Structure 1
Amino acid sequence: MEANPKSLGDLPKAYQSSTPDMTVAIQARAHIGAVLQFVAPQLPLKSALPRAAAFIGINARRARALWNREARAVLAEEIHALEAARARIAERIITREMHQHANTMELYAARLASVDPEGNRAEIDRLRRMAQRARHFASDEEAA
């Protein structure tokens, strides 16, 4: 039996994603590991698990049992909560990347405008429209 890691940096790569051939208990542990890396990447495992459990919406004691492979069974509602937490993480990451993309487009537009605002007008407008679309799309996703 492998030793439990003391911090998130000690997590093996196998626990960072789930595949269909994994058992439900291993999938649950993989989901918890991903939530741990998102919610509290710098904290020791002992203090990170309660934060991850709160993010998932399960009891901290239950999260610890799932993480330590001490749970006798993994309930369907727990797997659904774990998968929903992973989906929320993915949404947040994608939204952040879209905002970063919009900021980059605005930066490029500002640089072009500072060099030659009239000669680069078409490109400046295109970049600003692209940034506006990305922000609009991300704000629609946040509101939903």
Structure 2
Amino acid sequence: MGDERRWRAVMVGTGDRVRVAGHWRTVKGARTDRFLTGGLAVILDFERGRPVRMPATSLLDVVPRGDWVVVEETAGGPPTYELECTLCGEFCQPTNAPSERGPWALDHTGRTGHDIFRAITTSFLRVVPTPPGGAFNDASA
């Protein structure tokens, strides 16, 4: 990989890439636990595959997480748009077309005299790590 380092398992965190059973996997979460004998264990959860439990002092090949980036998350659907009256709190139903808010605002103003609205756009974003050297493909374990 080029940028890997040898770290103790207890130092690994979310977004780091670790080599487990010959495959590079992205860590989704890391937590500690105790073995029945009292020793400290680390449980690594991955984006794909089963979690791995190991002694906290285990040495792992790790590519540390790089800069974090924000990307559009399309799984949540397209953006939705709505308006909320800042005077009474009434709002139009969310729509996928921003132009559909205008008729509601005109109608609301005609009925109430209220003329100031909060425009609300809801879309989904995801924060993901960009590891050094570019993107990786997860290998299922």
Which category describes the TM-score, using the shorter chain as reference length? under 0.3
Q: What's the TM-score, normalizing by structure 1?
A: 0.27
Q: Which has the larger radius of gyration?
A: 2
Higher strand share: 2
- TM normalised by structure 2 equals 0.27
Structure of greater relative contact order (alpha carbons < 8 Å, 6+ residues apart): 2
